[in-house]
Structure 1
Amino acid sequence: MTTAPPPGCPAHAERVPLGGPRFQTDPTALYRELRREHGPVVPVVLPGDIPAWLVVGYRELHQVTTDATLFTRDSTLWNQWDNIPEGWPLAPMISREQPSILYTVGPRHQARAAVISDALEAIDPFELRRYAEEFADGLIDQFCATGETDIISRYAMLLPVRVLARVYGVPDEHGPDLVSALVDMVDGRERALAGQAHVQQTILALVAEKAQHPGSDVASRMLALAEKTGFTPADVAFDLMVMAAAGHQPTADWIGNTLRLMLTDDRFTASLSGGRHSVAEAMNEVLWEDTPTQNVAGRWAVRDTRLGGRAIAAGDLVLLGLAAANGDPQVRTDASVLTGGNNAFFSFGHGEHRCPFTAQETAEVIARTAVEVLLDRLPDLDLAVPAADLTRRPSPWLRGMTALPVTFTPTPALGGHR
């Protein structure tokens, strides 16, 4: 005699694979269909046939990210650890053993977050913009005389980590290798573990160096603050890894997605020649309509509960559908209308585990500077292909362009002089 599975059990429900070409082509329509067919909480399956829940409703996502007692970041509670295959490609994103801030809860998490925020708070915003302008000009100098380039591979994907490496204390020459490793790590594909290993080696070397020879950089400040609050250099290293991953790729995609919007959307194309909508407005629209971070893993249910009409079992993984929640029709009844600076999006998360405000400010300065410098240097920038031919990376986690080919009037390099 067999027993019927409990209603809403993710191991038996009709599950939706969290992946596939529609995350590249039209995730907005995909999330709309998922919401219509499954409601605000969707049963999904991760690589390796691992079940989870994807929250696509704005109200439900607010509940999950607000109630840290019921939906925790303590990944040791996951009821699927025994089923995770060796070499699982999502291991860099969902870890049982990594002692970083991502999986720290309660007062210890608050103290750890304060170390990060205080270290980032000391960054001089004018100095940060100067670094961003320096690297932006240097990258543009490499292609400005050609009249054409791919903005993603030759600019957006290279800039954020160079700036972050400088303020964190990483030598400039390590920036290019960090780019490749970070992209591999966060895409969650076959090279994810190798990318994670390279990032870890780089950050561990940085922390060891700064412990012996501190400087006026984020890593040195974090080490000093950690010593006062009972955290170890290893804690600092793991948190710097999180900061590098969370700071680089989403910011690179923020740059790329903003430029795509400004080059393809009638609401913004006029701004390239001084029209009515600014870079800041375009960046804010991207956080609503085309947010770089689509989905986040995640939270774990502390006990059996219900969410959005679903029975969630203790230990179930709940994925945060940030992009889907931003597009919830109960919140955005008319997606064609500009948000006018409304920042009630989930693009930086919500609750005590949201992206620290100082980190958000850092990302915004880098992204805005990147877009403004590019448009200042190449004012007649235009797409080199039809907008319909643009493609996205295959990741269901981060939404960014595979390429953004453009043309422009060739201009001479600045050679380091702005």
Structure 2
Amino acid sequence: MTDVARRTDAVPLYGERYRTDPAGMYAQIREKHGPVAPVLLEGDIPAWFVCGYRELHQVTTDATLFARDTRRWNGWETVPDDWPLLPHLVHNPSVMFTEGPDHRRRAGALSDALDSVDQFELASLCERIADQAIDRFAGAGEAELMSQYASRIPLRATAMMCGVPESAARMLVDDVMGVLGSSTANQMAVFGRLQDEMQRLVDHKRVSPGSDVPSHLLADPVNLGDEEILSDLLVVLLQAHQQTTNWIGNTIGLMLTEERFAITLSGGRASVGDALNEVLWHDTPTQNYLGRIATRDTSLGGRRIRAGDLMVLGLAAANADPQVRPAGGAVGNRAMMSFGHGEHGCPYPAPEIAEIIAKASVEVLIDRLPDLVLSEALEWRSSVWTRGLVRLPVTFTPTYLP
């Protein structure tokens, strides 16, 4: 039994409090336990919660001491087969679970492929997709922006960036959107169809390469295998969909509820970048992340960490650490931990691509519908792991296409 498993003062990292006041909960944990806290995950599975900015920086920087291969975890024997967090921790062949030279090979190829994306063309593509989405509801005078807008743009843009034809990308979005909130079986069926679509795409690009991400991965001199390419494409698509969707929704919500942003809705685009940045500091889409595994006994933040202990990366908590962001302090810089850090952080230039998609989505919306008004109070999705809006209903003056 590890030291963290013996703790009787471990904090449950689940429950209603995280939906209503996650920032308050993180501050309470830090005040009581310091920068590294003993916590219990769902099912009362013990782990260490890294909520200090400097400690999180240390964990994410030292990939040798705090490794990514979750097969090292010393708690597997305590986990039931139906544990809801298994999808986050079960090792799979994607780049997310690789280490050392293999990780650098895979991550380098993925970064090079993403770096080949023409960011000006991507911005234009996102603006066109956003315009088409708004056209569908502009005449109604009301919309629910999460399902009708924010959720539709990132996946479609990323799919087309990966070489999926526009018609197929549109159907893919409709397929994914159709199962949100439905049964696990339906969601798994859609995931299977997404895998099949990506496999067909890779097969096609091998014969007819183009200027797209899978073609660059296939041509990379590190000679990636089919399983590697397929799994990494799925990571790109799914991560871009969930996190960028919430980044867009959280930013629109901020601009509709905070006067210092709302007053510029009818005029200034300059505030959109500020709003996007503030969301990453205060309401970052990825709140916490599983995880890292200690490869040997060590100490961190005054805690004794055993080999095999599970570390939960408290991204939102670290962003709010008063050691680096005093109360009321400016958040104009980009030193937040929202995209992780180190060699296992979000690969370059994925954060820049996500920002292009999010910024274009918000800018087109406020240009087209400058008198947006929130018609219900914001309702946040209940999750320790992500921060996003359940719904974003708005009203506006109807506009009709010529």
TM-score range, shorter chain: over 0.9
Tell me the secondary structure at the aligned position of residue 356 of structure 2: helix
Whether 2:245 is the aligned partner of 1:218: answer: no
Q: Which 5+ residue runs of structure 1 have no aligned equivalent?
A: none
Give the superposition deviation at 1:196.
4.8
Q: What is the distance in 2 between the residues matched to 1:285 and 1:346? A: 13
Aligned residue among 260, 266, 272 for 1:273:
266
Aligned to 2:284: 291
Whether 2:220 is the aligned partner of 1:233: answer: no
Give the superposition deviation at 1:198.
4.7
Give the superposition deviation at 1:200.
3.3
Whether 2:89 is the aligned partner of 1:94: answer: yes
Give the superposition deviation at 1:12.
3.9
Q: What is the distance in 2 between the residues matched to 1:190 and 1:36? A: 42
Q: What is the distance in 2 between the residues matched to 1:10 and 1:251? A: 35
Aligned residue among 355, 358, 362 for 2:346:
355
Q: What is the distance in 2 between the residues matched to 1:410 and 1:179? A: 25
Aligned residue among 81, 84, 90 for 2:79:
84
Q: What is the distance in 1 between the residues matched to 2:106 and 2:122? A: 23
Aligned residue among 388, 396, 405 for 2:384:
396
Aligned to 1:410: 398
Whether 2:260 is the aligned partner of 1:261: answer: no
Give the superposition deviation at 1:84.
2.6
Q: What is the distance in 2 between the residues matched to 1:121 and 1:17? A: 40
1:12-41 alpha-carbon deviations (Å, 9 max, x no partner): 443323222222211111101111122211
1:130-165 alpha-carbon deviations (Å, 9 max, x no partner): 211111111101111111111111100111001001
Aligned to 1:244: 237
Q: Compared with structure 1, are the counterparts of its residues 350 and 178 closer, same or farther at alpha carbon in structure 2 (3 Å cutoff)? A: same
Q: What is the distance in 1 between the residues matched to 2:280 and 2:233? A: 24
Aligned to 1:35: 30
Contact preservation (8 Å) 1:89, 1:193: no
1:32-65 alpha-carbon deviations (Å, 9 max, x no partner): 1111122211222223332211111111101101
Contact preservation (8 Å) 2:253, 2:378: no
Letter in 1 for 2:203: A
Letter in 2 for 1:326: N
Q: What is the distance in 1 between the residues matched to 2:321 and 2:185? A: 32
Letter in 2 for 1:263: L
Contact preservation (8 Å) 1:100, 1:242: yes
1:293-324 alpha-carbon deviations (Å, 9 max, x no partner): 10111110001111112221111110111000
Q: What is the distance in 2 between the residues matched to 1:196 and 1:18? A: 28
- Aligned residues, how many? 398
Q: What is the distance in 2 between the residues matched to 1:238 and 1:184? A: 24
Whether 2:145 is the aligned partner of 1:151: answer: yes
Whether 2:200 is the aligned partner of 1:205: answer: yes
Aligned to 1:121: 115
Whether 2:65 is the aligned partner of 1:70: answer: yes
Note the 1:364-383 alignment, pairs <5 A.
364-383=355-374
Give the superposition deviation at 1:116.
0.8
Contact preservation (8 Å) 1:270, 1:277: no
Q: Compared with structure 1, are the counterparts of its residues 310 and 262 closer, same or farther at alpha carbon in structure 2 (3 Å cutoff)? A: same
Give the superposition deviation at 1:275.
5.2
TM-score by length of 2: 0.93
Q: Compared with structure 1, are the counterparts of its residues 180 and 79 closer, same or farther at alpha carbon in structure 2 (3 Å cutoff)? A: farther
Note the 1:162-181 alignment, pairs <5 A.
162-170=156-164, 171-172=168-169, 173-179=171-177
Aligned to 2:53: 58
Q: Compared with structure 1, are the counterparts of its residues 141 and 233 closer, same or farther at alpha carbon in structure 2 (3 Å cutoff)? A: same
1:90-111 alpha-carbon deviations (Å, 9 max, x no partner): 2322122x11111111122112
Q: Compared with structure 1, are the counterparts of its residues 403 and 254 closer, same or farther at alpha carbon in structure 2 (3 Å cutoff)? A: same
Give the superposition deviation at 1:202.
3.5
Q: What is the distance in 1 between the residues matched to 2:365 and 2:284? A: 21
Q: Compared with structure 1, are the counterparts of its residues 67 and 180 closer, same or farther at alpha carbon in structure 2 (3 Å cutoff)? A: farther
Contact preservation (8 Å) 1:54, 1:320: yes
Q: What is the distance in 2 between the residues matched to 1:238 and 1:13? A: 40
Q: Compared with structure 1, are the counterparts of its residues 384 and 395 closer, same or farther at alpha carbon in structure 2 (3 Å cutoff)? A: same
Letter in 2 for 1:72: A
Tell me the secondary structure at the aligned position of residue 243 of structure 1: helix
Letter in 2 for 1:393: R
Contact preservation (8 Å) 1:161, 1:178: no
CA RMSD of aligned residues (A): 2.3
Contact preservation (8 Å) 2:4, 2:46: no
* Percent identity (aligned): 51
Tell me the secondary structure at the aligned position of residue 395 of structure 1: coil
Contact preservation (8 Å) 1:89, 1:189: no
